[in-house]
A and B are shown apart, each in its own frame.
Chain A
Amino acid sequence: MSKKRPASEYQKTFAFRFFRWLSGEKDPYIGEMEMHPQEEYQPDREAALRHEREHDAIMDKVYDTEHNRSLHLFHRLYQATSILFCLFLIALLLVTISYLPATGTVNRPVNNEVAKRYIEKGLEETGAVNIVAGMILDYRAFDTLGESHVLFVATITVLILLRLNKTQKDEAEISDRRFEPKNDAILQLVATFLVPVIIIFGIYIILNGHLGPGGGFSGGAVIGAGLVLYLNAFGFKKTERFFTEKTYKWVCFFSLSFYCLAKSYSFYTGANQLHSVIPKGTPGAILSSGLILPLNIAVGLVVACTIYAFYAMFRKGGF
């Protein structure tokens, strides 16, 4: 204690505290016991507002994509990982492919009894010269049934998305007219020549589906293309004379119903080992191969209408 220290400093020293405890002046617990009551919860409007403002500020910052560095970084990172992933996928697939059976050779698992029977007995069993057509419309007709319904459901979704109601349709029509090439002479002239040719070609493809390359889908697509060309050349006014939504609806309905019922009959008889009454006909003739031709026609109709409908929907949102 040779040099005098100020009291406040002295009171902080360990010695002082020790001495206080020694002499019984200090209690370890006293400070703990006399506590103030806990505050009741008070809804604080100010704080809430401030919180809200802060929240907004944060949100602004988050959505400020131009200046958000971390977002940029994240994008970069995302892209980099995606690219890496894709490179990895390429490598993986290439490796896989390198182990696959050699293409073009005969002795592969693919060329087994299944393909053999299709080729050897296909003509006999389905009556279709085009083995592929026979396969997809008879051997594996269930897939094809599904496939046509994929198309159907896609049309439905497009309708849901793009079909407009009455008033919207009128507006859309007005705006559409503005962009429509009106009375484009060259187009109309060419169309006059080409459309029948295209449609006839399409019909040919459909009808020969079981005899050669082609079939309902390809033919229908060609016909659809012809219709689209016609629409482009002559406008909705002209097409609506023979093709409206109603037409589309009923054509689709009848085609698909026919498809469904026909195939159901075929499946049912097949599964129950019943005799099917549908004649196979002479291989090579147009009217041959049992249900394949009618089914091709049905599919063709559906596809043609659908292609046209897609176009009309995309362009205007209605027929």
Chain B
Amino acid sequence: MIISVILIPFIAGILVPIIPFQKRWQKEVFLETAVVLNSILVWYLLLHHSDSTFLLAHFTGNLNISFRVDGMSMVFAGLVSALWPFATLYAFEYMTKEKHENVFFLFYTLTYGVTLGIALAANLLTMYFFYELLTLVTVPLVMHTLTREAILASRKYLYYSLGGAAFAFLGLIMVIVYGSTTDFILGGVLDPAKTVGKTNVLLLIYVMAFMGFGVKAAVCPFNSWLPQASVAPTPVTALLHAVAVVKSGAFAIIRLTYYSFGTDFLKGTWAQDVVMAVVMFTIVYGCSRAVKETHLKRRLAYSTISNLSYILFGAVIMTPLGLVGALTHLVFHAVMKISSFFCAGAIMHQTDRHYVHELNGLGYKMPCVFGIFTVASLALMGVPGLAGFVSKWNLAQAAVESGNPLAWGGIACLLVSALLTAIYMLTIVVRAFFPGKDFDYGTVSGIRDPNWKMLLPLFIFTVFIILFGVYSQPLVDFFMEVAGGNI
């Protein structure tokens, strides 16, 4: 059962180029059916999860590839499987303008399976395995257009991701050697008997592994791949580089911190300070770069960098509340960012405009898209009543509650970043709706909102942004349970 949700996307993906579809819609129906089915299966699995571990294969020694559903995996798998059908729907429409569709959908669907693999992995090795695999299946998506930029971007993406994985690997080794098991157990698996006297080394390796996984989560010195990778088609940028891939990095860090090394071991050490400082810097850095960036998708990518570090900030607070904050932002940011990216994609798809200064006056021509974009912007800023506020609130509360002065500084970073978010998001909105006095409306004539395939996901995401903003309690309670280790 649990393996089937990983395999179905693989099979479906591989079938796409193999089956000779007569018409486009047949392919669309096939893919969408597969994806939706899989998502339903995932949700069924999550709702009826048992605590047993499914062992797929022995790898070497006592290492094995196995899967299990626990709280964290429920969050991530649920998120991914909820978003994927919409993203696929959106991709159908978007990809009408691009070439090599089959290859695209092949890897796109493969990525679904791999991401679920990361989510459902029961131990560190399995997660690492799928983590590496994720890099590989997403590279073709980044270089899809095969332009010079795409090639450079994918190259950088590969270097960064694989290099990061190399350092994350060290963390894996540490857990293998000094832990009692590699399975994920809330509170960590390090064996105190083995770690005596090795604390500093372990912490150093933790920092390295953090940075290693952090590459995917675009932690500061290793973030430049993400904006570059936005040359990929928008469904990719939206889903992968705002949700699946980058969140995998954050997810992996959470796993590493809470489930492998254990917060008891890490909390209050210099390692925590170091990673927190890095994360805080990234929060501010990402935003300030976003302000300077004029390419729309790259700007959003920088925003993603900063927001990912929110999640990590929650994670490195290393308290249950921190985890709650991280999870909240993990989910909420996914919805907000995917919606803003889809807006960007819709704009690019309808108008072929990529730069912020080209968006003047489009707000009147594409009211739906820009309305949704505005909502997403406000949510990202953290206006109360929208999703962003709740997650930021949780993060900040966790930081306050932790009593760590550095974390208090982190709150300041969050707020600075919120201000910068306002700058880089609202300037777009203002441009679109208030183009200025001498704006020539002739330049935007003939532009209109995209069709329902694009708008439907957007609307649904917007509803969720608002819903989460005003009624997030069950979800947050669920996260509490997860963080408390009750699920």
**Partner-B contacts on A (CB < 8 A):** 29, 32-38, 41
Contacts and interface: CB of A to CB of B under 8 A. Distances in A.
B294 A36 contact: yes
A125 B295 CA distance: 91
Contacts of B194: none
B291 interface: yes
B294 A29 contact: no
Q: 6 closest pairs, A vs B, by CB? A: A37-B355, A35-B294, A37-B294, A41-B148, A33-B427, A32-B291
A16 to B, nearest CB: 26
A36 to B, nearest CB: 7
15 contacts: A29-B291, A29-B423, A32-B291, A33-B291, A33-B423, A34-B357, A35-B292, A35-B357, A37-B295, A37-B355, A37-B357, A37-B358, A38-B295, A41-B148, A41-B149
B163 to A, nearest CB: 25
A38 to B, nearest CB: 7
Interface in B254-279: none
Nearest to A33: B427
Contact of A32 (B148, B292, B295): B292
B440 to A, nearest CB: 18
A41 B291 CA distance: 22
Interface in B138-197: 148-149
Given A32-B291, A32-B292, 15 more contacts: A29-B291, A33-B291, A33-B423, A33-B427, A34-B357, A35-B292, A35-B294, A36-B294, A37-B295, A37-B355, A37-B357, A37-B358, A38-B294, A38-B295, A41-B148
A37 B292 CA distance: 11
Interface of B: 148-149, 291-292, 294-295, 355, 357-358, 423, 427
Nearest to A43: B148
Contacts of B355: 37
Contacts of A29: 291, 423
A33 B357 CA distance: 10
Nearest to B427: A33
A9 B51 CA distance: 75
Contacts of A35: 292, 294, 357
Contacts of B427: 33
A29 B148 CA distance: 33
B434 to A, nearest CB: 14
A37 B355 CA distance: 7
A41 B228 CA distance: 14
B193 to A, nearest CB: 46
Nearest to A35: B294
Contacts of A32: 291-292
A305 B149 CA distance: 65
Contacts of B291: 29, 32-33
Contacts of B149: 41
Contacts of B295: 37-38
Contacts of A41: 148-149
Nearest to A40: B149
Nearest to A36: B294
Contacts of B423: 29, 33
B148 to A, nearest CB: 6
Nearest to B291: A32
Contacts of B294: 35-38
A43 to B, nearest CB: 8
Nearest to B420: A29
B289 to A, nearest CB: 11
Nearest to B295: A38
Nearest to B152: A41
Contacts of A37: 294-295, 355, 357-358
A152 B294 CA distance: 72
A47 to B, nearest CB: 15
A35 B296 CA distance: 12
Q: Which of B292, B294, B358, B427 counts the most A-chain CB atoms under 10 A from its CB?
A: B294
A33 to B, nearest CB: 6
A33 B423 CA distance: 9
A32 B423 CA distance: 11
A279 to B, nearest CB: 58
A105 to B, nearest CB: 53
Nearest to B292: A32
Contacts of B357: 34-35, 37
A35 B294 CA distance: 7
A106 B357 CA distance: 96
A34 B358 CA distance: 12
Contacts of B292: 32, 35
B427 to A, nearest CB: 6
A45 to B, nearest CB: 15
Contacts of A34: 357
Q: Which of A32, A33, A36, A41 counts the most B-chain CB atoms under 10 A from its CB?
A: A33
A37 B294 CA distance: 6
A192 B184 CA distance: 92
B236 to A, nearest CB: 21
A41 B295 CA distance: 14
Nearest to B424: A33
A296 to B, nearest CB: 55
